[in-house]
A and B are shown apart, each in its own frame.
Chain A
């Protein structure tokens, strides 16, 4: 009776990912070449590349962190924000990303996290750290508003900051003890 199974070949579980990565690089290069050969008003190939980069970061992050929805919400908030700012810059900066897109993204993220906390009564301690982190990035536009002239349309940013603050207060009142416990375990020395 043999002690070990015969391993015929090395299993390559990442073959699909490698193929997709090859396709992504191919598409990006094709777009850049076409964009250079047929000159237009702006370098649209960057839009495609930004979209591909966004998709890859999302896919890889989701594969690695397929458990915690709150971490995905947090990650998406950052990624979509970067993507929209990138699009705004690529097509000729007009400021709509900071004025409107960012506050809307932040508000949606905060409301989503609030809903997650309410619906999943037993798991909310897992979301605590991401709630605090999402709040911290939510107040960044407000900081920009107070310190720079980058944001021209103030109302959306003020509203987003208000929603983020109310959500955090609501979350703390709902599961403050859990947020504290989660922070203790995550920050233990």
Chain B
């Protein structure tokens, strides 16, 4: 935050306030499940302490003439027991203007974040810090000052998109519309959640045997599940396109706490590849092609160039909102679903024994009716489906496909779907 107590939105963040609404919440959730029941009072103390260091989250969104911007928010953060479906639209008017929400339920601490504020990987920093501080406050006799000081991280609020993009590079993204998932929808505003808890060690062994990465293996399984459980039934003809967010910190030096991600789109023509092994081979090849630094830079640069275009900059915000919303009605049709794997959540040894697992959830939308996400902790990878569809055939097929490979897997949900089969 500058000395004037306001800051610009980063290049990715600019789009979210414009396109978001109750239907398109642009909210993701990070949850930490602890071994013991969460004590609300300690959680409040922990969060307030953490926010002193993570001041970039203590902001409210304001409308400027041309862009939104962040302004310092000194109001108290509301921390309450979870009482709604996950990843719901965060209405600043009912949340003391904050763009993130902290809730708890039984052993679980939830952090719902409006994507404009940051991405999943940076969100993990905040959740991890809250969990560390909570544990320290809960067990002060175990954690002394030395341990606490050792884990402080450094971050900045730079827009690293601007720092790293290349003006001359052009993206060659696909112009083909995607297969859109079909099926009867759940009642209005309901979100079904299914967590598939996968044994990470066994998953890694199987992935290694097939000479693919864990993300490639899960993406192929997801495509296969969509194909067999939805695509065939509804006689799909368009390609299944999976949007995979990519953490740009793996490609560029960055300490930003803001958004710094790009994406690749895996496009599978189901008329050419439809057996699992074929899909797996195709996904592997497509990942390798699209995940090169140059390809990533191309996609990122195209997006930055758009946001940096002087003519676009000069359009008043209200007009920009109308144009962007109209274009997004079309853009959304280019993805079947999104699968975000934020990978391993590293936790310092002393704190591990207090934590059961971590989970990430992404808000489903009217077009992308199912969204998928994954993260791992210790020897468990939690693959999560968030869905607005009544039918759970995709989730079940995914489960069976993993189980078929001899990998240990179990299901958990939020009670919307009957998942025990």
Contact = CB atoms under 8 A, between A and B. Distances in A.
B188 interface: yes
A11 interface: yes
Interface in A1-48: 1-7, 10-11
B334 interface: no
B69 A188 contact: yes
Interface stretch (A49-57, A152-160, A179-187): A179-187
Given A1-B106, A4-B82, A188 B67 contact: yes
Contact of A189 (B82, B314, B414): B314
Contacts of B33: 3
B35 to A, nearest CB: 10
Interface in A75-89: none
B110 to A, nearest CB: 10
A66 interface: yes
Given A3-B33, A4-B193, A66-B93, A189 B313 contact: yes
A114 to B, nearest CB: 24
Given A63-B93, A181-B4, A188-B67, A10 B188 contact: yes
Contact of A188 (B66, B82, B93): B66
A3 B65 contact: no
Contacts, number: 60
Interface residues of B, number: 36
Interface in B87-139: 93, 97, 105-108
Contacts of B314: 189
A1 B81 contact: no
Given A185-B69, A188-B66, A3 B414 contact: yes
Interface string B21-53: 000000000000100000000000000000000
Contacts of A94: none
B349 interface: no
A10 B189 contact: yes
Contacts of A4: 82, 86, 105, 193, 413-415
Contacts of B66: 187-189
A181 B5 CA distance: 10
Interface centre among B63, B64, B190, B412 (most CB of A within 10 A): B64
B188 to A, nearest CB: 6
Nearest to B66: A189
Contacts of A184: 4
A85 B217 CA distance: 68
Given A3-B105, A3-B106, A11 B64 contact: no
B85 A7 contact: yes
B106 A2 contact: yes
A11 B106 CA distance: 22
A5 B33 CA distance: 14
B76 to A, nearest CB: 14
Given A10-B189, A187-B66, A3 B81 contact: no
Counting chain B CB atoms within 10 Å of each CB, which of A3, A7, A64, A185 scores highest? A3
A185 B62 CA distance: 10
Nearest to A186: B64
Contact of B190 (A6, A10, A181, A189): A10
B204 to A, nearest CB: 25
A45 to B, nearest CB: 33
A11 B413 CA distance: 21
Contacts of A67: 97
Contacts of A188: 8, 64, 66-67, 69
Interface in B394-421: 412-415
Contacts of A187: 64-66
B304 to A, nearest CB: 15
Contact of A1 (B6, B69, B107, B190): B107
Nearest to A65: B93
A5 B105 CA distance: 7
A187 B317 CA distance: 10
Interface string B55-67: 0000000111111
Contacts of B67: 188-189
A184 B412 CA distance: 50
Interface string B183-216: 0000111100101000000000000000000000
Contact of A5 (B8, B62, B82, B107): B82
A87 B43 CA distance: 56
Interface in A130-144: none
A48 B65 CA distance: 35
A64 B415 CA distance: 34
B420 to A, nearest CB: 14
A61 to B, nearest CB: 12
Interface in B152-199: 187-190, 193, 195
A124 to B, nearest CB: 14
A81 B254 CA distance: 53
A181 B69 CA distance: 13
8 contacts: A1-B106, A3-B195, A10-B188, A10-B190, A185-B62, A185-B64, A187-B64, A189-B313
Interface of A: 1-7, 10-11, 63-64, 66-67, 181, 184-189
Given A2-B415, A4-B415, 8 more contacts: A5-B105, A7-B83, A64-B93, A185-B4, A185-B69, A186-B64, A189-B66, A189-B314
Nearest 7 A/B pairs, CB to CB: A4-B414, A189-B313, A186-B64, A187-B65, A185-B6, A10-B189, A1-B106
